[in-house]
Amino acid sequence: MAGPAFTPEGYKKLVAAFLAFTVIVGYMTATQPSGAGWRFFSWHPFLMVTGFVGMMGTSAVTKKLGGYSNTKLHGILASLGLMMAFGGLYVIYRNKEIMGKEHITSTHALAGIITMAGALMASLAGGIFLHPDFGFDKTNKTIRFGHKWFSRTIILSAWITCVLGLQQMTSDKFILATFILPLVILAPFSLI
């Protein structure tokens, strides 16, 4: 099953949509609950949204264009997204330490740790086995298929984890819809 096909012009629009989501909705999320403003904790949701939605979403649609250059750009974008997510993980770890709170006490936190582990596994598998220049088994269709669908599952898991985290910060239906609806619209282009 393939997602909707898109032209190079459509690709540019998708990248613009991911960028707009990251900047606008990422900032909105980072400043929840309403009126909290930007604080150290804000880097956690902002980096997670930037990494898992902005960078990895763009990475997924870039790979769909095919070709050597797009495959390399896909790997770079996904790796940058993973680095941003690790930055977000560091922020929440430090914030919990500063506040004297326990770690991994919610569904959001557990889902986040599982998702981070999965993202690291997908990144390592892609870099070691599928890199177009030096991948050990870059033409193996089974590994390629597994990497593609495991990675898409991890991105979806990350998006759900982001929603779970946002629900811990606000119950405002407009804010939640502003976060969820664009992801529902972007999902067929990036995850299928």
Q: What is the C-alpha radius of gyration for the chain, rounded to an integer number of angstroms?
A: 17
What would the pLDDT profile of 71-92 be if each residue is shown by its tens digit?
A: 999 999 999 999 999 999 999 9
| Closest residue by Cα to residue 55 from 158, 165, 125, 130 | 158
What would the pLDDT profile of 114-146 be if each residue is shown by its tens digit?
A: 999 999 999 999 999 999 999 999 999 999 999
Q: Give the chain's end-to-end CA distance (angstroms, integer).
A: 7
Sorted by sequence, the CB contacts under 8 Å of residue 133 that are 6+ apart come out as 72
What would the pLDDT profile of 150-177 be if each residue is shown by its tens digit?
A: 999 999 999 999 999 999 999 999 999 9
